[in-house]
């Protein structure tokens, strides 16, 4: 064995040291010319404005587990890192910084403002990537990319030009989601909807000829100033007599027609709806079908326009609402106002309520691009984990709408379109034209808008590898192997990458998509600053170390289930780190001069504990490999935790101590030393993808070949050592030791007090097994003696247990106060029964089951199960005391 170990593991010291070593030696770099099979992942590029949060931590821990696992399996593993320029978010950050200096963006001008943003990016843009290194991310940092670096910008222009020339990109006046705060259009996916309490206003529009009136309902009465029609369903007989009539629009001097359209819902309200084509997407479509005028009454800054009328022009939209309602009431046109809960669209960046407004924007026709993306998932070229997300993917792709790709901001990829002011020629090209091809003027004006941030992100899998240039990296690592992402960007990003990859590379961008859930607090609540339940990943790493933090995330990352995280859980896995460290010290201290050859190729062991632990190790290797291969990270972590802590430490090392300590007659020393060393070394390789720092720190002290554990082969199950007989016998021994220990605890026997134990066994085979391993049972169960009685009966006044149908009991070296013990057990039973009745009452209450959050119901069911088991044990112990 090589190297001594300090008394305590120091995570921060180890993490700094090994990450520096790995970086200096270039271990994370993937060789595009390698003969090894490729495995590649592109990182979901975090915003350049971002800092590490729990979502990033989970996402990147999973990616790092996969990369390290495949690297150890012999793949040439590339993990492509980078950041996103995050157009709106970054511009907002820099604008706020300038505002603090008394500077407004427009006063700087576009060119100087962009210089300021680049300066900000150079100063702060790398923070999150440095934080990912604290997590242990083994990205190929030599290949770090940025969505606005020169190569990716070239790819963006190339894609835009090709799509435009093939007729996919067009410019048009269309109703879009507009953010009055960010002053830009937003795609449908960039609008977040939140439930809000408001009012439903019922407005009365009188017929011009006095033949009647119609009542319409709206949550936005200020938009009535832009109404150009009232619509009813063609089959609605209530309005047959009013068809062809015109109605006076209150507060204006305009008359509007009553039209029929199948969009109207006869069951909602009066069945009549106001039509405002310039300020509602559904009304816009009605207006197109009926050739209605489009009157814009709300401007791009959220104030009312001249078209709204002189009484309202210049008012903020919400102040205008109040005045319109008051004026309608005064004119007798406000029928009613009722409380109403409805959903409001807000800008995903600044949370300002969006305004549907007609503006000239650039769009991509998506239906033809979506079709190959749908087929790729249908025929299995792309597999989505968990599969439940396929349905959502198909629904969105089959109902896809054209994508508004233009944004009215300055920071981003400026649209590569130039217009000639002399002849109106429009030039779309990858390179900036020197002159107009029609009239030769050199005074060309470039489109002011920039592209949606997600446009460049959609090209990420191939643009980061150098496309449109042909190169070894692109040939070697595209398509990528797996994409790890959150469900919230399945459409923002994943679907668009699939469409762009199919269009420009002729192949899928990734073979697998693993969609992880959210990280919530221990009660299942979403983490937020307002709730005060945010857990900072960097603080957790500082307190408990990166390995304990990573292992916690993996242990709770069940497929399709949100991660419920609490600091005490991370602290708990820090104890696991300590357990691994202390067990490794024991093995290193007592395993003697075990050579690397002996450890790698041991002789078949004869001693039961050695046979058992090698057999269990082989099966755990199978379990972990299967779990990693199928993205069941929690199962891999659970199997490793149970094996190392409970089987290796709690049982094997305890059974092996006499042999390790050199107590002859307690087992063959050399065989046990070799076995202990082999199990430790194999366990470290199994743990490495999840616990990279600790595993490297200990592995380097073993007699192993190779510079780093990250290139050591990931373990394969050694079927030679799988021994069902040894596992069965050992399970029996463990069960009986555990039963005797539980009896000691229940009877309050001190650890230092040794007591006689008895097994009433009718099966000779069980008795033989126990006799063969009697020394271990006596030592670990702290028994004075162990006797076997085939015919005897249980004496009064002792606690018993039943294992495999055999009764066992212990006799304490003192008399038991049976009445006192019975009273204690009865009090405890009464308390548990009361608690169980309360939980049973909740779970039998239909309203509780329907209204309580799922996690609360689940928690109560867990409590019910625990209390039921406890009650059964108490009843059994009472029965064992006799009458």
Is pLDDT of 3 > 80? Answer: no
Q: Which of 126-135, 567-576, 655-664 has the lowest mean pLDDT?
A: 655-664
CA distance 226 to 295: 5
- In this prediction, residue 793 carries a pLDDT of 67
CA distance 121 to 129: 13
> What are the residues whose beta carbons fall under 8 Å from the beta carbon of 726, sequence distance 6 or more?
608, 611, 612, 615
pLDDT in tens, 481-539: 999 999 888 888 999 999 999 999 999 999 999 999 888 888 888 887 778 888 999 99
What burial class does residue 776 get, using C-beta atoms within 10 Å of its C-beta: 0-12 exposed, 13-18 middle, 19+ buried?
A: buried
Coil, helix or strand for 214? strand
What is the separation, in whole angstroms, between the first and last Cα of the chain? 60
> Average pLDDT in the 614-625 region?
97
Strands of 324-476, DSSP E:
334-347, 355-364, 383-385, 403-404, 406-407, 417-419, 426-428, 445-446, 450-451
Tokens of 447: 């489109």
Is pLDDT of 855 > 80? Answer: no
- In this prediction, residue 663 carries a pLDDT of 65
- In this prediction, residue 532 carries a pLDDT of 85
Q: How many CB atoms lie within 10 A of CB 497?
A: 26
Q: Are 245 and 209 in contact (CB under 8 A)?
A: yes
- In this prediction, residue 766 carries a pLDDT of 84
The angle at the Cα of 775, spanning 772 to 778, to the nearest 5 degrees, equals 120
pLDDT in tens, 41-83: 999 999 888 888 999 999 999 999 999 999 999 999 999 999 9
pLDDT in tens, 133-145: 999 999 999 999 9
pLDDT in tens, 693-732: 999 999 999 989 899 999 999 999 998 999 999 999 999 9
Beta strand 355-364 with 403-404 is: antiparallel
Helices (H), ranges, 230-312 = 281-290
- In this prediction, residue 880 carries a pLDDT of 66
- In this prediction, residue 550 carries a pLDDT of 98
Distances (CA, A) of 828 to 273, 854, 871, 873: 67, 30, 9, 11
Is pLDDT of 195 > 60? Answer: yes
> What are the residues whose beta carbons fall under 8 Å from the beta carbon of 712, sequence distance 6 or more?
72, 685, 688, 699, 704, 706
Q: Which of 106-120, 381-395, 528-542, 652-666 has the lowest mean pLDDT?
A: 652-666
Q: Are 782 and 734 in contact (CB under 8 A)?
A: no
pLDDT in tens, 5-38: 888 999 999 999 999 999 999 999 999 999 999 9
Distances (CA, A) of 647 to 643, 653, 676, 679, 857: 5, 9, 12, 11, 33
Using alpha carbons, select from 5, 7, 17 the residue that is nearest to residue 546.
17
Is pLDDT of 805 > 70? Answer: no
Is pLDDT of 249 > 90? Answer: yes
> Percent helix, strand and coil across the chain, each rounded to 5?
50, 20, 35
What burial class does residue 5 get, using C-beta atoms within 10 Å of its C-beta: 0-12 exposed, 13-18 middle, 19+ buried?
A: middle
Beta strand 510-516 with 383-385 is: parallel
- In this prediction, residue 852 carries a pLDDT of 80
> What are the residues whose beta carbons fall under 8 Å from the beta carbon of 615, sequence distance 6 or more?
721, 722, 723, 724, 726, 727
Q: How many CB atoms lie within 10 A of CB 107?
A: 10
Tokens of 468: 């449109």
Q: How confident is the model at residue 832 (pLDDT cuts 50, 70, 90)?
A: confident
- In this prediction, residue 685 carries a pLDDT of 98
- In this prediction, residue 668 carries a pLDDT of 54
Q: Are 174 and 221 in contact (CB under 8 A)?
A: no
Beta strand 755-760 with 806-810 is: antiparallel
pLDDT in tens, 436-460: 999 999 999 999 999 999 999 999 9
Is pLDDT of 664 > 60? Answer: no
pLDDT in tens, 628-649: 999 999 999 999 999 999 999 9
CA distance 265 to 457: 40
- H or E segment to which residue 171 belongs: strand 169-179
> Mean pLDDT of all residues in the chain?
91
The half-sphere exposure of 845 on its side-chain side, counting CA atoms within 13 A, is 13
Distances (CA, A) of 738 to 228, 651, 778, 780: 81, 11, 12, 9
- In this prediction, residue 748 carries a pLDDT of 79
Share of the chain above pLDDT 70, in %: 96
- What would the DSSP string read from start to end of 7-42? SS--HHHHHHHHHHHHHHTTTT---TT-SSPEEEEE
pLDDT in tens, 383-418: 999 999 999 999 999 999 899 899 989 999 999 999
CA distance 835 to 864: 9
pLDDT in tens, 158-169: 999 999 999 999
SS (H, E, C) 740-774: HHHHHHHCCCCCCCCEEEEEECCCHHHHHHHHHCH
- In this prediction, residue 209 carries a pLDDT of 92
> Average pLDDT in the 676-690 region?
97
Longest dimension (CA), the chain: 114
CA distance 411 to 355: 22
- Angle, nearest 10°, between helix axes 854-880 and 818-843? 160
CA distance 231 to 251: 19
pLDDT in tens, 736-765: 999 999 888 877 788 888 989 988 876 778
Q: Which residues of 706-736 are buried (b: 16+ CB within 10 A; e: fewer)?
A: eebbbebebbebeeebbbeebbebbebbbeb
Share of the chain above pLDDT 90, in %: 68
Is pLDDT of 568 > 80? Answer: yes
Output the pTM of the full model. Answer: 0.84
Bigger pLDDT: 580 vs 602: 580
């Amino acid at each position: 064995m090589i190297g001594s170990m300090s008394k305590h593991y120091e995570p921060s010291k180890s993490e700094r040291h090994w990450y520096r070593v790995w970086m200096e030696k270039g271990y994370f770099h993937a060789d595009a010319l390698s003969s090894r099979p490729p495995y590649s992942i592109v990182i979901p590029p975090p915003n350049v404005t971002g800092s590490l949060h729990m979502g990033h931590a989970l996402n990147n821990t999973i990616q790092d587990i996969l990369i390290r696992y495949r690297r150890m399996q012999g793949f040439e593993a590339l993990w492509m890192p980078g950041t996103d320029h995050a157009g709106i978010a970054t511009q907002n950050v820099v604008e706020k910084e300038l505002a603090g200096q008394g500077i407004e963006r427009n006063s700087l001008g576009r060119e100087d403002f962009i210089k300021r943003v680049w300066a900000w990016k150079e100063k702060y843009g790398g923070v999150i990537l440095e934080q990912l290194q604290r997590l242990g991310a083994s990205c190929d940092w030599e290949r770090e990319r940025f969505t606005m670096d020169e190569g990716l910008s070239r790819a963006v222009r190339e894609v835009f030009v090709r799509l435009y020339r093939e007729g996919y990109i067009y410019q048009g006046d269309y109703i879009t989601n507009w953010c009055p705060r960010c002053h830009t259009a937003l795609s449908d996916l960039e609008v977040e909807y939140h439930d809000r309490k408001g009012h439903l206003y019922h407005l009365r529009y009188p017929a011009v000829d006095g033949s009647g009136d119609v009542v319409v309902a709206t949550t936005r009465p200020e938009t009535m100033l832009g109404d150009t029609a009232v619509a009813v369903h063609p089959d609605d007989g209530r309005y047959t007599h009013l068809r062809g009539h015109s109605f006076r629009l209150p507060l204006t001097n305009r008359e509007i027609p009553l039209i029929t359209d199948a969009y109207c819902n006869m069951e909602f309200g009066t069945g009549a709806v106001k039509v405002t084509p310039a300020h509602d997407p559904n009304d816009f479509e009605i207006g197109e079908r009926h050739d209605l005028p489009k009157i814009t009454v709300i401007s791009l800054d959220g104030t009312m326009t001249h078209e709204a009328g002189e009484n309202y022009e210049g008012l903020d939209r919400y102040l205008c609402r109040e005045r319109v309602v008051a004026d309608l009431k005064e004119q007798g046109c406000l029928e009613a106002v009722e409380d109403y809960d409805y959903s409001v669209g807000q800008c995903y960046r600044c949370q300002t309520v969006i305004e549907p407004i007609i503006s000239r924007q650039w769009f991509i026709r998506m239906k033809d691009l979506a079709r190959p993306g749908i087929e790729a998932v249908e025929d299995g070229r792309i597999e989505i984990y968990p599969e439940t997300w396929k349905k959502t993917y198909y629904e969105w792709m089959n109902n896809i709408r054209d994508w508004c790709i233009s944004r009215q901001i300055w920071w981003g990829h400026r649209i590569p379109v130039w217009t000639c002011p002399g002849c109106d020629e429009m030039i779309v090209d990858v390179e900036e034209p020197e002159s107009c091809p029609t009239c030769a003027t050199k005074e060309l004006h470039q489109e002011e808008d920039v592209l949606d941030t997600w446009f460049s992100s959609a090209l990420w899998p191939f643009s980061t590898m150098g496309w449109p240039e042909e190169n070894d990296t692109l040939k070697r690592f595209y398509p990528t192997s797996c994409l790890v992402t959150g469900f919230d960007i399945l459409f923002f990003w994943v679907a668009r990458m699939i469409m762009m990859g199919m269009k420009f590379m002729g192949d899928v961008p990734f073979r697998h998509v693993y969609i992880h859930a959210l990280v919530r607090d221990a009660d299942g609540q979403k983490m937020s600053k307002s709730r005060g339940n945010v857990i900072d990943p960097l603080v957790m790493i500082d307190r408990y170390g990166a390995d304990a933090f990573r292992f916690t995330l993996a242990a709770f990352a069940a497929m399709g289930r949100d991660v419920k995280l609490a600091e005490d859980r991370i602290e708990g896995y820090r104890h696991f780190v300590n357990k691994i460290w202390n067990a490794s010290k024991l093995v290193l201290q007592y395993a003697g001069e075990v050579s690397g050859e002996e450890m790698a190729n041991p002789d078949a062991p004869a001693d039961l504990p050695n046979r058992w632990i090698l057999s269990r190790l082989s099966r755990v290797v199978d379990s972990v490999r299967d779990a990693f291969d199928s993205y069941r990270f929690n199962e891999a972590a659970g199997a490793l935790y149970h094996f190392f802590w409970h089987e290796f430490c709690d049982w094997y090392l305890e059974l092996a101590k006499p042999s390790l300590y050199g107590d002859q007659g307690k087992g063959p020393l050399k065989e046990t030393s070799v076995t202990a060393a082999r199990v430790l070394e194999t366990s470290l390789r199994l743990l490495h993808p999840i616990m990279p720092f600790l595993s490297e720190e200990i592995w380097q002290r073993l007699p192993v070949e190779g510079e780093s554990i990250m290139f050591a082969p990931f373990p394969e199950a050694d079927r030679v050592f799988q021994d069902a007989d040894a596992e069965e016998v050992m399970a029996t021994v463990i069960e009986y030791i555990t039963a005797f220990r539980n009896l000691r605890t229940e009877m309050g026997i001190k650890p230092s007090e040794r007591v006689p134990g008895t097994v009433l066994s009718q099966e000779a085979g069980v008795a033989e097994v126990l006799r063969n391993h009697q020394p271990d049972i006596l030592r670990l169960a702290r028994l004075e003696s162990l006797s076997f009685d085939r015919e005897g009966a249980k004496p009064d006044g002792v606690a018993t247990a039943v294992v495999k149908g055999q009764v066992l009991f212990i006799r304490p070296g003192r008399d038991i106060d049976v009445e006192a013990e019975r009273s204690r057990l009865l009090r405890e039973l009464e308390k548990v029964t009361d608690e169980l009745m309360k939980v049973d009452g909740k779970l039998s209450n239909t309203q509780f089951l329907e209204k309580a959050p799922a996690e609360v119901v689940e928690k109560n069911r867990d409590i019910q199960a625990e209390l039921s088991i406890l009650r059964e044990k108490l009843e059994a112990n009472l029965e064992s005391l006799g009458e």
